């Protein structure tokens, strides 16, 4: 038989970095990003527009490491402006994945993986009430590799897997973008749902 009439594809790989606030998720994402870029590969770096804590067009860690990123309202708009194919991007990086729509995100990632594009995503695994973020949970279920990291409890210094909201109001929204003025990492013993 001369030639193969069926094209074979190599599926991309999905890495998920998850944990509480202040665990170093964005730093871990940037480490992988710089390694891929250093290897001469093209990348696309995305972040939600809602994350405006430091700079709008950069992924910025709490210790001020940063890298340019495209801030988007939703991932559907990314498809309108970028062709997610291996000849354009070796890897797509998404920070704060929990802020993106669950179904849209899974469709976006799954389509890219089928095309052979790799993804590295980072996000909170739980909100300050201890409820899993759906988008991060679905990414974890689909992941080829999971990096689950912890912070240090601000009360006792032990491993912290929870995010403590410092002030709760009567009708606190699930999502309140903030930094150390709003949240702290806590161990199970010192964490309280808010």
pLDDT tens, position by position, 26-64: 999 999 999 999 999 999 999 999 877 777 788 888 777
pLDDT at 170 over 70: no
Q: At 68, which CATH number?
A: 3.40.50.300
Coil, strand or helix: which one is 77? helix
Q: Is the residue at 128 inside a domain?
A: yes
Number of domains into which the chain is organized: 1
Q: What pLDDT, on a 0 to 100 scale, did the predictor assign at position 18?
A: 98
Beta strands in the chain (DSSP E): 14-19, 43-48, 58-60, 66-68, 70-72, 91-94, 118-124, 145-148, 151-152, 159-160, 162-165, 183-186
Q: Is the residue at 161 inside a domain?
A: no
Q: Is the residue at 169 inside a domain?
A: no
Active-site residue identified among 96, 145, 181, 192? 96
Q: Is the residue at 129 inside a domain?
A: yes
Q: Are 135 and 170 in contact (CB under 8 A)?
A: no
Whether 96 is catalytic: yes
The secondary structure element, H or E, covering residue 110 is helix 102-115
Tokens for 41, please give them. Answer: 């590969």
What mean pLDDT value characterizes the chain?
88
For 29, the domain range is: 14-149
* 92, β-bridge pairs: 44, 119
Q: What pLDDT, on a 0 to 100 scale, did the predictor assign at position 180?
A: 62
Q: Is the residue at 2 inside a domain?
A: no
Q: What pLDDT, on a 0 to 100 scale, did the predictor assign at position 178?
A: 57
Coil, strand or helix: which one is 105? helix
pLDDT at 171 over 60: no
């Amino acid at each position: 038989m001369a030639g193969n009439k069926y094209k074979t594809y190599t599926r991309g790989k999905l890495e998920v970095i998850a944990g509480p606030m202040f665990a170093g998720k964005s730093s871990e994402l940037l480490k992988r990003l710089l390694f891929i870029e250093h290897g001469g590969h093209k990348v696309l770096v995305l972040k939600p527009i809602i994350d405006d804590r430091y700079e709008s067009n950069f992924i910025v860690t709490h210790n001020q490491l940063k890298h340019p990123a495209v801030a988007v309202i939703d991932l559907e708009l990314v498809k309108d402006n970028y062709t997610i194919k291996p000849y354009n991007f070796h890897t797509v990086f998404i920070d704060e994945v929990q802020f993106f729509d669950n179904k849209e995100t899974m469709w976006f990632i799954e389509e890219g993986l089928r095309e052979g594009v790799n993804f590295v995503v980072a996000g909170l695994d739980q909100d300050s009430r201890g409820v899993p973020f759906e988008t991060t949970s679905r990414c974890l279920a689909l992941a080829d590799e999971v990096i689950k990291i912890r912070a240090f409890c601000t009360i006792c210094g032990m491993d912290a897997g929870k995010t403590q909201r410092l002030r709760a109001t009567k009708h606190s929204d699930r999502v309140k973008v903030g930094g150390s003025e709003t949240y702290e990492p806590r161990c199970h013993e010192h964490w309280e749902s808010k």
